[in-house]
């Protein structure tokens, strides 16, 4: 399951780091939301993952957000298997 989710979002995760020229590990919340839209991440997945993510001064750790997307998607897949 984890590999399936990782492969689904690999391009999104690469784009997060590409959009961070300072390599700080953080992006503005609006930029993360924009990229999720570009990569067609379902709105509900984006919102659930964002709710789980600590937002500091409108910046979001894209590593933390990515991990939260994985958690949301794995939870969704597991519930479909039951």
pLDDT at 82 over 70: no
Confidence grade of residue 6 (pLDDT, cut at 50, 70, 90): confident
Rounded to the nearest integer, the mean pLDDT of the chain is 86
DSSP result, the chain: -HHHHHHHHHHHHHHHHHT-TT--SEEEHHHHHHHHHHTT--HHHHHHHHHTSPEETTEEEHHHHHHHHHHHHHHHHHHHH-
Query: Could you report the per-residue pLDDT of 46-79, keeping only the tens digit for each?
Result: 999 999 998 777 889 988 998 999 899 888 877 8
């Amino acid at each position: 399951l984890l590999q399936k989710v990782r492969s689904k979002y690999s391009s999104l995760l690469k784009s997060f780091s590409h959009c961070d020229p300072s390599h700080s590990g953080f992006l503005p919340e609006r930029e993360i939301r924009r990229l999720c839209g570009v990569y067609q991440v379902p709105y509900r997945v984006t919102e659930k993952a964002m709710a789980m993510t600590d937002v500091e001064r409108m910046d979001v750790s894209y590593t933390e957000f990515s991990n939260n997307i994985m958690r949301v998607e794995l939870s969704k897949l597991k519930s479909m298997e039951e």
